[in-house]
């Protein structure tokens, strides 16, 4: 009331001085024998509460000039929050069983976020909303540490800590979304979804590997499964649904899912060339094995997401992407189909699943020639029926590649029955294409 700035600043300087003195004395103090009821916990809690009180007081009454006072209040809020979390985590580290420490620390952070939400409402403390959002980076850091320490997220009581943490996270996002700028709210929702997708994929991969325990392909397909299911679920939501989709559907579809779908697409390309698709203990069946079923599921998810984007106002960075989706999916489908062929030859004809072995195999080269011709036939017949001239041109280009391959590569590398089958098969398909799939007319000619 009397606007005594100097005493206030002196009192603020006592905050870091008390922290330094406390840390210096903590090294010399004997280990506490009783949890919570000990000098270490009481001292840390006192510094935390003092910092938080000063931050709240500074947000309601000016310390000094207005701009500087807001900065000081923000610094004190960060200071008090760090001391609050660190004091609780240290107490858990000192007295909890080793296998429960990380889960209890995560639960403590979640409960602290809920407490800050209550304080924000009770004290009309808008700045506390930013302290609440500290739960998100804490969860991300804990996820990284979990990966170093444990085999999967549900280990060491994580099956209780992680669901509770995500429930608390989305609750606080709901309660404080009107207190923070839209950009921060959008970023928080995106980061929360990415963290959920990463941890869910990790857990799913571990569970599949533990359940089957024979072929590595089971853990490989488990990693994209949870992100794909999340993407499919979000893509089928509507703006009239409950929170968060009623208020943030565009954020989830455009900003959160775009990186997820990009990662899933790269996974399809990577796994197509890396994995032989061994489905042990199941027999290998083309298109009906775990790997190909997973890729087909991802294709459906991509289609659902692409159609969902057409219902919203797409951000500029996605506008060009949407136009490239159909040809991109066609190219990806071609790569996947070749992977199916190579994996089938590996399992059924015992061709080693290595690049050098595939390149030297006459069976693989002959199969490529016939298979590419069959794909070109299918594309050109479809293009002729649907009047899709660009698709027909792609099929014709693929046929040109096949013919060049026959004369430049197959004549030198392939001999015997494989050469005969390759040339006859391609020749027959060329005749069929000429009869069934002539080039569609241009749009001007159709008009």
pLDDT tens sequence across 276-294: 998 888 899 999 999 999 9
CA-wise closest residue to 103 among 132, 146, 135, 141: 146
Q: What is the mean pLDDT of residues 36-41?
A: 84
The tokens for 49 are 């509460």
With respect to residue 312, please indicate whether it lies within any of the assigned structural domains.
yes
Domain termination residue (choose one: 132, 159, 180): 180
Which percentage of the chain shows pLDDT scores above 90?
Answer: 47
272 with 394, same domain: the answer is no
With respect to residue 279, please indicate whether it lies within any of the assigned structural domains.
yes
Does the pLDDT value for residue 299 go beyond 90? yes
With respect to residue 171, please indicate whether it lies within any of the assigned structural domains.
yes
Q: Rank 85-99, 360-374, 410-424 by mean pLDDT and report only the highest.
A: 85-99
Residue-level pLDDT at 6:
61
Domain termination residue (choose one: 180, 211, 235): 180
190 with 339, same domain: the answer is yes
370 with 418, same domain: the answer is yes
Place of tokens 């858990």: 92
With respect to residue 210, please indicate whether it lies within any of the assigned structural domains.
yes
219 with 332, same domain: the answer is yes
- CA distance linking residue 6 with residue 86, whole number of Å: 30
211 with 238, same domain: the answer is yes
175 with 197, same domain: the answer is no
287 with 148, same domain: the answer is no
With respect to residue 18, please indicate whether it lies within any of the assigned structural domains.
no
Query: Model confidence at 447, in pLDDT bands (50, 70, 90)?
Result: very low
With respect to residue 16, please indicate whether it lies within any of the assigned structural domains.
no
Does the pLDDT value for residue 1 go beyond 60? no
Residue-level pLDDT at 26:
67
Does the pLDDT value for residue 86 go beyond 90? yes
- CA distance linking residue 377 with residue 373, whole number of Å: 6
Query: Model confidence at 421, in pLDDT bands (50, 70, 90)?
Result: low
With respect to residue 79, please indicate whether it lies within any of the assigned structural domains.
yes
174 with 206, same domain: the answer is no
Domain termination residue (choose one: 279, 310, 343): 343
193 with 338, same domain: the answer is yes
pTM for this predicted structure: 0.88
219 with 306, same domain: the answer is yes
Structural domain of 91? 36-180
Residue-level pLDDT at 19:
77
- CA distance linking residue 256 with residue 267, whole number of Å: 18
User: Lowest-pLDDT range, 19-23, 336-340, 353-357?
Assistant: 19-23
Query: Model confidence at 322, in pLDDT bands (50, 70, 90)?
Result: confident
Specify the number of domains making up the chain: 3
Residue-level pLDDT at 239:
66
With respect to residue 255, please indicate whether it lies within any of the assigned structural domains.
yes
111 with 157, same domain: the answer is yes
Q: What is the mean pLDDT of residues 338-360?
A: 93
173 with 202, same domain: the answer is no
């Amino acid at each position: 009331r009397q606007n005594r700035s100097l005493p206030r600043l002196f009192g603020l300087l006592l905050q870091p001085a008390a922290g330094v003195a406390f840390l210096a004395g903590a090294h010399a103090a004997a280990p506490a024998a009783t949890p919570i009821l000990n000098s270490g916990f009481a001292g840390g809690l006192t510094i935390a509460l003092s910092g938080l009180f000063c931050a709240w007081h500074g947000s309601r009454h000016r310390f000094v000039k207005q701009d500087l006072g807001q900065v000081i209040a923000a610094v004190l809020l960060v200071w008090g929050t760090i001391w609050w979390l660190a004091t609780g985590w240290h107490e858990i580290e000192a007295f909890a069983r080793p296998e429960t420490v990380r889960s209890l620390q995560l639960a403590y952070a979640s409960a602290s976020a809920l407490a800050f939400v209550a304080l924000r409402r009770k004290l009309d403390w808008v700045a506390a909303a930013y302290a609440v959002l500290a739960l998100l980076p804490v969860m991300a850091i804990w996820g990284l540490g979990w990966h170093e320490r444990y085999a999967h997220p549900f280990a060491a009581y994580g099956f209780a800590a992680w669901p509770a943490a995500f429930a608390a996270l989305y609750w606080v996002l709901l309660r404080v979304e009107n207190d923070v700028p839209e950009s921060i709210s959008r970023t928080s929702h995106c980061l929360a979804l990415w963290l959920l997708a990463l941890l869910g994929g990790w857990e799913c991969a571990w569970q599949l590997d533990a359940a089957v325990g024979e072929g590595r392909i089971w853990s490989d397909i488990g990693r994209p499964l949870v992100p794909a299911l999340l993407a499919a679920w979000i893509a089928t939501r509507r703006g009239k649904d409950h929170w968060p989709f009623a208020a943030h559907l565009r954020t989830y579809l455009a900003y959160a899912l775009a990186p997820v779908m990009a990662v899933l697409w790269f996974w399809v390309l990577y796994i197509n060339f890396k994995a032989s698709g061994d489905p042990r203990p199941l027999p290998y069946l083309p298109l009906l094995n775990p790997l190909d079923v997973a890729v087909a599921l991802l294709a459906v998810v991509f289609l659902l997401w692409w159609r969902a984007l057409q219902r919203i106002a797409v951000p500029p960075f996605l506008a060009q992407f949407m136009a490239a989706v159909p040809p991109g999916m066609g190219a990806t489908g071609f790569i996947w189909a070749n992977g199916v062929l190579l994996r089938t030859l590996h399992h059924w004809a015992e061709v080693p699943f290595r690049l050098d072995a595939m390149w030297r195999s006459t069976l693989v080269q002959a199969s490529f020639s016939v298979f590419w011709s069959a794909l070109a036939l299918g594309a050109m017949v479809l293009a002729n029926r649907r009047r899709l001239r660009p698709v027909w041109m792609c099929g014709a280009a693929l046929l040109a590649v096949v013919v060049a391959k026959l004369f430049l590569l197959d004549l030198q590398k392939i001999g015997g029955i494989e050469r005969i089958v390759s040339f006859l098969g391609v020749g027959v398909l060329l005749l069929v294409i000429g009869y069934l799939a002539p080039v569609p007319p241009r749009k001007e000619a159709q008009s």
